[in-house]
Structure 1
Amino acid sequence: MATGERRIIQAIDEIVAKPGEGKALLDDYLARYAPGARARGMVLEQVLVSPPMWLDDQSNTLSFRWSIADTGGWWQMRFVGGNDPEVIAWWAEADARAVSRRRFFAAEPVDIEGLCHV
């Protein structure tokens, strides 16, 4: 990679918590999931809560934006996380406390060319 060349992949987790579970699910994600994700090379860039208040009778949406250095880092993150029983168990527990969740990957247009040539 040339000096200054970027190849950043963003991983975005979006979890819609069951009513009243937003704060606890956020705390659990940060305490139990995030340390392992960091060890797998992911960098937590942003955490958002919508709406911006804790709700007892409605759902909060929790959004976590991670960055991954490059395509090799993405494959490493996928392989290690997908084969770690603790990660699998954590997501199963989170699913029981959520209405829905999704993870998607994205990149800035400037990074796409470099990400396609691996």
Structure 2
Amino acid sequence: MTAVQIIDDLVALPGEGRALLNAYMADYAPGARARGMVLERVLVSPPLWMDDQPNTLTIVWNVDGAAGWWGMRLAAGADPGATAFWQAAGDRLVSRARRFAAAPEDVETLCNG
């Protein structure tokens, strides 16, 4: 499999890290799985729930190649649940960013589609 990673970096408001992660896993993750995304890992930084400063949640998903990425992207655009989750999550977020990455050995394959 030529994996494309989808990396969500979510910076939670102080005291909101655990609740944000719980909501993400309950309300966003099932739809992501239905769109073909495979959860690889979840990281919490710093590695304890903070009440007085932000936690950063890094959530890494995989899809199979460019076709998997496009399939996920098109399905997400048609999924009102994804939009609703991000709107609701805004009350718990300082910021969020989504990045896409691949292993160096997979880049040529992805470029040649």
**Which TM class, normalised by the smaller chain length?**
over 0.9
Q: Does 1:69 pair with 2:64?
A: yes
Q: Secondary structure at the match of 2:51?
A: coil
Aligned to 1:58: 53
Preserved CA contact (<8 Å) 2:31 2:81: no
Residue by residue over 1:19-69, the C-alpha shift from the partner in whole angstroms, topping out at 9 and shown as x without a partner, is: 110000001101110111011111000000000111111110001010111
One-letter code of the match for 1:7?
T
Which aligned pairs between 1:11-90 and structure 2 lie closer than 5 A? Answer: 11-90=6-85
One-letter code of the match for 1:26?
L
Shift of 1:92: 1.0
TM-score by length of 1: 0.92
Preserved CA contact (<8 Å) 1:95 1:101: no
Counterpart Cα distance in 2 of 1:34 and 1:7: 22
User: Which ranges of 4 or more aligned residues in structure 1 deviate by more than 2 Å?
Assistant: none
Counterpart Cα distance in 1 of 2:14 and 2:78: 31
Structure (1 or 2) with the larger CA radius of gyration:
1
Structure 2, gaps ≥5 residues long: none
**Aligned residues, how many?**
113
CA RMSD of aligned residues (A): 0.8
Counterpart Cα distance in 2 of 1:94 and 1:82: 17
Residue by residue over 1:54-85, the C-alpha shift from the partner in whole angstroms, topping out at 9 and shown as x without a partner, is: 11111100010101111111001001102211
TM-score by length of 2: 0.96
Structure 1, gaps ≥5 residues long: 1-5
